[in-house]
Structure 1
Amino acid sequence: MRDLGAGLRYLGRGQQWVLTHGRWFGFGLLPALITLVLYAAALTALGFWADDIATWATPFADDWGTTGRALTRGVFAVMLWLGVLMLAVVTFAAVALLIGDPFYEKLSEQVEESEGELPEGMVEESLLRGLWTSLRDSLYVLLRTLLFTIPLFFLGFVPFIGQTVVPVVGICVSGFFLTLELASVGLQRRGVPVRERLAMLRRRKALALGFGAPLVLAFLVPLLAVPLMPGAVAGATLLVRDLVGAPPAPGPAMGGPAPQGLPPAYGMPQYGQPGAPR
């Protein structure tokens, strides 16, 4: 429960940070706005084609009665659109981060500096190399996400469970992977490989869910993802400092002291340095 509350506090502190640093708030809006336009167009197109896709995917229902055929295909179309919507929520951050990589990298660095200092041994990459690394890691996260979302999609057709348990599990899964995507900005800076990032958050599932699940629900509200994205990056940066056991900023931190991080083995020295964990 402590980690769950800590994740929620990091989300709030991130939003507070960008609101008190207006320049960086505006700095992070444009990539999120571009991403929202692209996703809105894709979801609108899917809405128009959902019935045709449902007909193509359920040829076994061709000989059924009108009511049974319409109900089956209607449920399929709705579940397809909702499934893609949940996937869009998870991948929204990844696409926005790719589009706005230089913007969000700078924003994240400013958050770290305001909390004390940037990590020692920071990994420096060229813009193209950084974009390639981000794209490769995002594809890895997407494949892991699909391992959960595809079974959940089909479980959505199970009566009662599909309308109660599955949506809750879907939000939790989406929240976990959304946190992973957002935390990648700070963890990539430290040279932490994507598989280790996943392992770190698995050890702190409640922290990841406390941060990501409320953000998923907020991202489902039309247009809300755009103003929340800069603060989400800032909050994830603060969360990363908890994960790696970074020292707190001198003096009282904004929003109260940060919770305890991982043991020192997961803080300094940095990945890639002698004695660092592998």
Structure 2
Amino acid sequence: MLRGNVFTGFGYLGEGFRLMRQPGLRRFVIIPMVINVLLFAALFWAMAQFFSTMIAAAMAWLPDWAWLQALDWLFWLLYGVVILLVMAYGFVMMANLIGSPFYGFLAERTEALLTGKEPESPGGWLSVLKDVPRILWREVQKILYYLPRAIVLLLIGLIPVVNLIAAVLWLLFNGWMMALQYVDYPADNHKLPFRQLRQRLGDRRLSAFGFGLPVALLAMVPVVNLVLVPAAVCGATAYWVREGVSGLPVERVRS
């Protein structure tokens, strides 16, 4: 049985956009945003080249059946949506890999703002630098979780007719991955193993999808996706403390 609330999950992203503008958090947002601008420009150019090549190859594989040729425009549209979804999570994955030390610190400060409780471990930039190897390994774990499943979905997307469901599967998978990706920042700050995080999010899967799906959709929108990542980190931290994932009593959490 699916538990949680899709609409509650959706609200955390809006709260994240509000939180990232708080005076105590703004300075932790600027550096990652600069990184995102440079990364998105490079990734957009690379994916534009890959997109044209993949479409040409996929259409060449189609049998010369009249009804399939009549659906030529639909296949172009579906492949385009799949590529956008791949680019969306690819951009987020790379941005998070590069900016993960900053995002972990942003999640820490957001949690302190929401709960009114300072972290037990000493913070600051020296602490961030010390934790860089562990944080990067955490990002690698998420990539290793993502890639095998993404490859399967890519293969499904190359099968004529069957690929009609590929875009829907990609959207659902990306929504789940976005929830995992961002709630993992506060979880990692508390040294919660990645496997346990997946289990806790799975216990309230509807809330996870409610948060992750709009993040996945906005990640495909140029310009918006440049400010999306820090907002998602802040929103995911609110999710962490309010959905029972963190284990904090609800009454200690500020609204």
TM-score tier after normalising by the smaller chain length: 0.7 to 0.9
Give the RMSD, CA atoms, in angstroms.
3.7
How many residues get paired? 247
Aligned partner of 1:141: which letter? K
- Structure 2 counterpart SS, 1:31: helix
| Residue matched to 1:4 | 6
| Residue matched to 1:40 | 41
- Structure 2 counterpart SS, 1:28: helix
Indicate how the Cα distance of structure 1 residues 57 and 228 shifts in structure 2: closer, same or farther if over 3 A, else same: closer
Aligned partner of 1:30: which letter? I
Indicate how the Cα distance of structure 1 residues 49 and 75 shifts in structure 2: closer, same or farther if over 3 A, else same: same
Structure 1: segments with no counterpart, 5+ residues: 255-278
C-alpha offsets along residues 126-147 of structure 1, whole Å, 9 cap, x if unaligned?
5455332233222222232233
Deviation at 1:50, TM superposition (A): 4.2
| Residue matched to 1:145 | 146
Deviation at 1:173, TM superposition (A): 0.9
**TM-score normalised to structure 2 length:** 0.76
Larger RCO (CA within 8 A; separation ≥ 6): 2
Indicate how the Cα distance of structure 1 residues 203 and 129 shifts in structure 2: closer, same or farther if over 3 A, else same: farther
Find the aligned partners of 1:97 and 1:54 in 2 and give their Cα distance. 28
Find the aligned partners of 2:59 and 2:153 in 1 and give their Cα distance. 18
Indicate how the Cα distance of structure 1 residues 109 and 137 shifts in structure 2: closer, same or farther if over 3 A, else same: closer
- How is 1:72-91 mapped onto 2 (pairs within 5 angstroms)? 79=79, 82-91=81-90
Which of 197-206 and 38-47 deviates more? Answer: 38-47
Indicate how the Cα distance of structure 1 residues 26 and 225 shifts in structure 2: closer, same or farther if over 3 A, else same: farther
C-alpha offsets along residues 64-114 of structure 1, whole Å, 9 cap, x if unaligned?
79xx99x98x958973x6545323322434433333334323322222222
| Residue matched to 2:213 | 213
- Structure 2 counterpart SS, 1:86: helix
| Residue matched to 2:131 | 130
Deviation at 1:221, TM superposition (A): 0.7
Deviation at 1:194, TM superposition (A): 1.4
Indicate how the Cα distance of structure 1 residues 107 and 53 shifts in structure 2: closer, same or farther if over 3 A, else same: closer
| Residue matched to 2:163 | 162
Find the aligned partners of 1:248 and 1:122 in 2 and give their Cα distance. 24
Find the aligned partners of 1:129 and 1:58 in 2 and give their Cα distance. 50
Higher helix share: 2
Deviation at 1:230, TM superposition (A): 1.9
Task: Report if aligned partners of 1:39, 1:88 keep a CA contact under 8 Å in 2.
Answer: no
| Residue matched to 2:222 | 222
Deviation at 1:49, TM superposition (A): 4.6
Find the aligned partners of 1:116 and 1:224 in 2 and give their Cα distance. 30
- How is 1:168-207 mapped onto 2 (pairs within 5 angstroms)? 168-207=168-207
Task: Report if aligned partners of 1:105, 1:185 keep a CA contact under 8 Å in 2.
Answer: yes
Task: Report if aligned partners of 1:29, 1:226 keep a CA contact under 8 Å in 2.
Answer: no
Task: Report if aligned partners of 1:123, 1:191 keep a CA contact under 8 Å in 2.
Answer: no
Find the aligned partners of 2:128 and 2:198 in 1 and give their Cα distance. 24
Indicate how the Cα distance of structure 1 residues 29 and 91 shifts in structure 2: closer, same or farther if over 3 A, else same: farther
Aligned partner of 2:144: which letter? L
Find the aligned partners of 1:126 and 1:113 in 2 and give their Cα distance. 16
Larger radius of gyration: 1
C-alpha offsets along residues 197-228 of structure 1, whole Å, 9 cap, x if unaligned?
12221222112111110111111111101222
Structure 2: segments with no counterpart, 5+ residues: none
| Residue matched to 1:245 | 247
Aligned-pair identity in percent equals 25
Which of 8-17 and 206-215 deviates more? Answer: 8-17
Task: Report if aligned partners of 1:91, 1:142 keep a CA contact under 8 Å in 2.
Answer: no
Find the aligned partners of 2:90 and 2:49 in 1 and give their Cα distance. 22
Find the aligned partners of 1:169 and 1:60 in 2 and give their Cα distance. 22
| Residue matched to 2:95 | 96
**TM-score normalised to structure 1 length:** 0.71
Deviation at 1:182, TM superposition (A): 0.9
Task: Report if aligned partners of 2:87, 2:220 keep a CA contact under 8 Å in 1.
Answer: no
Indicate how the Cα distance of structure 1 residues 26 and 149 shifts in structure 2: closer, same or farther if over 3 A, else same: same
- Structure 2 counterpart SS, 1:243: coil
